[in-house]
Structure 1
């Protein structure tokens, strides 16, 4: 019996070793998309506008549309307030002090202010940047992304590996790069 168990374990190890990384990513993506669909069905998001990117599985639900016409482009500096959640609606990070306090994640050693950075250089996770590039200054949106566009297979703080993520974004400012700013 012990030999059969060892043989079975070896066989399972051999078979799982035959699955390519691409196949594993596809399986994770399919699982994430099913979990996101379930989340959206159980947590309807009122929206003025929606975008579902079929290539990535990222969903954006605009809760407020500004029509400012000021859309960020790569290298523009943006300022955004955000709240990040897991699909169980547990908040794991925010730039808003009152939200941090209400969700017992407040840290006195941190500044709570809008995140400000030049977009397009990988300063944030891919799904976050993708969403910001779809928005205009003054827009507010809820973004839901598969784990591949979040932290992937990495466990980060209280975020388990392969976790789809939800972000509430408020794009406060888009500061355009001026040609004269680029010249020495």
Structure 2
């Protein structure tokens, strides 16, 4: 009788596990399945972490992916904002571990907050912890120094990998590029007519900006934004004006625009030293090569009698769009 009871309990346990798909229950309705457990100490609040993450809906619709963005999440682990949220889930892991974590949308919503317009019960996270620097009893100085050392080492890895990324992109897309002395790679896909712009001329440009993995990060073409599901109704989807030769944009653009006449289209593969360099910006990692498909819509020569303004500070493409939007706004009466 004892053996029969034990067998029944074992079968029941197997059946329960299969119904839950191998997931274990955490607080706040969270479910988790640890795929790789290296046995490292678990992450604690305040520790530095670098992790790769894909967030999806129940229906496998991707909400965000660090792999697509080309950059991991680098942060100090925060205190869980709600029982069973992603921060609580990450605390179940250590360096080198990976897991699927399902957070119950209704459970993690604070009182009074509106539920996000997502179908299904869960937000599903695929998480891989690349690096942990425990705060422990380290002084703030020592802790910050350890983080800085790690980030510098990671930047050096990215710097060394950049030439291979550019070479692979060109080879994979079977491109025959012209490379300038600065390292700018370009292909003229449609030849325009007339003179090329000189320093001080304003060039009106359409563009599509991508990473070498093909992921779009910015465009001023409405149809492209809609297709890639990045459309923003607040954006002005029209050619942006760029004054060339005065360092108003990244060096790769400044050089390339002076090689193209009106009506030209070109693909630019720009190394990071001609883009956002070792600093990067909000959406672009340090040492990140960029790909732009551009079109010169028009070239406007300055009034020779007008007083020349001082050279402006370099602007991002987003700032140029915002500037153009403000210039086009109707004057208040």
Q: What's the TM-score bracket when you normalise by the shorter of the two chains?
A: 0.7 to 0.9
Q: For 1:160 and 1:63, locate their aligned partners in 2 and report how far apart those are by CA, in whole Å.
A: 28
Q: What CA deviation, in whole Å up to 9, does each residue of 1:24-71 have, x standing for no partner?
A: 7xx93x6422221111100124x7xx5211x322111011012x1220
Q: CA deviation at 1:128?
A: 1.1
Q: What CA deviation, in whole Å up to 9, does each residue of 1:131-161 have, x standing for no partner?
A: 1111111100000011111111223233222
Aligned residue among 159, 166, 169 for 1:39: 169
Q: For 2:204 and 2:214, locate their aligned partners in 1 and report how far apart those are by CA, in whole Å.
A: 24
Aligned residue among 203, 207, 212 for 1:82: 207
Of residues 174-183 and 128-137 in structure 1, the stretch that sits farther from structure 2 once superposed is: 174-183
Give aligned pairs, total: 155
Q: For 2:244 and 2:207, locate their aligned partners in 1 and report how far apart those are by CA, in whole Å.
A: 15
Decide whether the 8 Å contact of 1:33 with 1:57 is kept in 2: no
Of residues 149-158 and 134-143 in structure 1, the stretch that sits farther from structure 2 once superposed is: 149-158
Give 5+ residue unaligned stretches, structure 1: 1-12, 17-23
Greater radius of gyration (CA): 2
Aligned residue among 223, 229, 238 for 1:104: 229
Q: CA deviation at 1:182?
A: 4.4
Aligned residue among 258, 268, 289 for 1:164: 289
Q: Choose between structure 1 and 2: higher helix proportion.
A: 1
Q: For 2:278 and 2:226, locate their aligned partners in 1 and report how far apart those are by CA, in whole Å.
A: 29
Q: For 1:132 and 1:97, locate their aligned partners in 2 and report how far apart those are by CA, in whole Å.
A: 22
Q: TM-score, normalised by structure 1?
A: 0.76
Structure with larger RCO (C-alpha < 8 A, sep 6+) = 1
Please tell me whether residue 65 in structure 1 is matched to residue 191 in structure 2: yes
Q: TM-score, normalised by structure 2?
A: 0.43
- Aligned with 1:180: secondary structure? coil
